[in-house]
């Protein structure tokens, strides 16, 4: 029985842990939280912070030597490619280069690399101080995007529009950077897209292709909050082709020869531009649920095979059928949650694939400043993306997360 080490025991890792067990693997899960949901389903569990690269390498090495040999390592719905790459390198397992993983966790280093290699990205610059930011705004005008170089979940990401205090913005964004570094970018107008590609030496595929929904850009300004996405994309074949090609080139360009890459791309009037490429499986139930539902492609199973060094056939990557799939989020009024009304009915609705809440009665709903402040989500199916979206919106409207001001 071969052993797979999964760095992440969060709730979104559960489908992946189950998939690995179904493939007959012995699954070891590591997570900082002793009560991580993934621990319940793992064959063995190790308590160590997923972001602690050296710590995870140390325990994995000991485990490999004295408990059982590890055959593969990966993460699921967790932004820890460096931890995974370091363990793989130390144990001689399949994986992406450590340098690639390091670059993927630093938005500035990644964009500098892309510019050098001719991969189209928005104009960007590091920002050294509030005065430097003011100077940039004077020269380039608005809107711009300010963001921490090394955070996630849209924490500290601001759309700079007239009226936003630049001193406040600089300090706010910087709070979210563990290394105290921020950068500014041109705000790209156009359809925002999430891609998820599989790179296999000779060939590359992009089964994950979702139109992201930014209907609340004004409502939550200056914060940039995504309200879900839908598949299949409404783009034309040609547009989809140009976006996929860019995602695949950008992934390879970072140094991924065999692996999955998740792209944030905007299709502008001048063609597609990369906002970010993650060298791992996506989160937000995209790889585990939305892609397989919409396309039949078993992204997680494929990523597991890649982690083990097993062969993946083109057949496995072929999109079979195209179903509509949508995800939308709950944005209740900030305050203390009193009740969640109307969720019972949904358990018997066949087109609701998954309904989840990040809050329960007694919890505080904070004002929406980043993706961690969303209160819950629903994933729906339909014959078309439009039908799936309509159904998701119906669910969001019919469930009431009641709050009282605090």
Structural tokens at position 9:
């025991």
- For the bound state, the minimum distance from the C-beta of residue 209 to Mg ion, rounded and expressed in Å, comes to 16
Candidate list 12, 31, 150, 185; residue touching ligand ATP; CB under 6 A: 185
Structural tokens at position 366:
């904070």
| Distance from C-alpha of 353 to C-alpha of 395, rounded to nearest angstrom | 12
Contact status: 266 vs ligand ATP (CB under 6 A):
yes
Compute the C-alpha angle 206/31/27, nearest 5°: 65
Contact status: 264 vs ligand ATP (CB under 6 A):
yes
**Residue sitting closest to Mg ion (CB):** 276
- For the bound state, the minimum distance from the C-beta of residue 397 to ligand ATP, rounded and expressed in Å, comes to 24
Cβ closest to ligand ATP, residue 13 vs residue 157: 157
| Distance from C-alpha of 270 to C-alpha of 119, rounded to nearest angstrom | 13
- For the bound state, the minimum distance from the C-beta of residue 185 to ligand ATP, rounded and expressed in Å, comes to 4
Contact status: 188 vs ligand ATP (CB under 6 A):
yes
Interaction site with Mg ion (CB under 5 A): 264, 276
Per CB under 6 A, which region of 61-69, 83-91, 183-191, 389-397 contacts ligand ATP? Answer: 183-191
Contact status: 227 vs ligand ATP (CB under 6 A):
no
- For the bound state, the minimum distance from the C-beta of residue 220 to ligand ATP, rounded and expressed in Å, comes to 11
Contact status: 187 vs ligand ATP (CB under 6 A):
yes
Cβ closest to ligand ATP, residue 7 vs residue 275: 275
Identify the burial level of 153 via C-beta atoms within 10 angstroms of its C-beta, where 0-12 means exposed, 13-18 middle and 19 or more buried. middle
Candidate list 82, 275, 368, 401; residue touching ligand ATP; CB under 6 A: 275
Contact status: 49 vs ligand ATP (CB under 6 A):
no
Binding to ligand ATP, residues 101-140 (CB under 6 A): 122
What lies within 8 Å, CB to CB, of 25 at 6+ separation is 1, 2, 3, 4, 304, 308
- For the bound state, the minimum distance from the C-beta of residue 219 to ligand ATP, rounded and expressed in Å, comes to 15
Contact status: 154 vs ligand ATP (CB under 6 A):
yes
Cβ closest to ligand ATP, residue 5 vs residue 176: 176
Burial 82-119 (b: 16+ CB within 10 A, else e): bbbbbbbbbbebbbbbbebbbbbbbbbebbebbeeeeb
User: In terms of Cα–Cα distance, which of 274, 285, 403 is closest to 339?
Assistant: 403
- For the bound state, the minimum distance from the C-beta of residue 305 to ligand ATP, rounded and expressed in Å, comes to 26
Cβ closest to ligand ATP, residue 72 vs residue 229: 229
Q: 188 is in the binding site of which of ligand ATP, Mg ion, none (Cβ under 5 to 8 A by kind)?
A: ligand ATP
Q: 122 is in the binding site of which of Mg ion, ligand ATP, none (Cβ under 5 to 8 A by kind)?
A: ligand ATP
Candidate list 64, 280, 371, 373; residue touching ligand ATP; CB under 6 A: 371
Cβ closest to ligand ATP, residue 284 vs residue 382: 284
Per CB under 6 A, which region of 52-60, 163-171, 185-193, 317-325 contacts ligand ATP? Answer: 185-193
Q: Which residues contact ligand ATP by CB under 6 A?
A: 122, 145, 147, 151-155, 157, 185-188, 192, 224, 226, 264, 266, 275-276, 371
């Amino acid at each position: 029985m071969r052993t797979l080490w999964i760095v992440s025991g969060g709730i979104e890792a559960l489908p992946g842990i189950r998939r690995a067990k179904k493939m007959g693997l012995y699954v070891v899960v590591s997570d900082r939280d002793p009560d991580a949901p993934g621990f319940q389903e793992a064959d063995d569990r190790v308590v160590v912070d997923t972001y602690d690269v050296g710590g995870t390498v140390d325990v994995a090495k000991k485990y490999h030597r004295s408990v059982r040999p590890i055959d593969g390592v990966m993460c699921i719905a967790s932004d820890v490619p460096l931890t995974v790459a370091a363990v793989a390198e130390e144990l001689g397992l399949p994986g992406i280069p450590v340098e690639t993983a390091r670059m993927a966790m630093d938005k500035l280093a990644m964009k500098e690399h892309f510019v050098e290699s001719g991969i189209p990205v928005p104009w960007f610059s590091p920002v050294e101080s509030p005065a430097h930011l003011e100077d940039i705004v004077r020269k380039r005008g608005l809107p711009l995007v300010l963001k921490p170089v090394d955070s996630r979940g849209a924490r500290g990401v601001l759309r700079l529009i007239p009226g936003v205090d630049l001193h406040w913005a600089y300090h706010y964004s910087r709070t979210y950077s563990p290394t105290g570094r921020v950068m500014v970018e041109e705000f790209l107008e156009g359809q925002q897209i999430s891609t998820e590609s599989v790179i296999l030496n000779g060939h590359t595929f992009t089964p994950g292709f979702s139109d992201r929904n930014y209907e609340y850009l004004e409502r939550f300004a200056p914060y940039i909050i995504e309200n879900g996405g839908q598949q299949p994309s409404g783009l034309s074949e040609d547009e989809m082709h140009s976006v996929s090609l860019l995602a695949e080139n950008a992934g390879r360009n970072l140094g991924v020869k065999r692996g999955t890459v998740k792209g944030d791309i905007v299709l502008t009037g001048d063609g597609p531009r990369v906002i970010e490429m993650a060298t791992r499986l996506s989160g937000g139930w995209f790889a585990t649920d939305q892609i397989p539902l919409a396309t039949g492609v078993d992204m997680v199973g494929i990523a597991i095979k890649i982690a083990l060094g097993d062969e993946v056939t083109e057949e496995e990557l072929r999109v079979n059928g195209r179903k509509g799939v949508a995800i939308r989020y709950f944005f209740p009024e900030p305050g203390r949650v009193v009740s969640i009304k109307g969720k019972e009915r949904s358990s018997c609705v066949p087109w609701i694939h998954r309904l989840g809440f990040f809050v329960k009665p007694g919890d505080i709903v904070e004002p929406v400043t980043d993706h961690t402040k969303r209160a819950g989500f629903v994933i729906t199916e339909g014959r078309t993306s439009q039908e799936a979206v309509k159904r998701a919106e119906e669910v969001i409207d019919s469930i009431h997360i009641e709050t009282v001001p605090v």
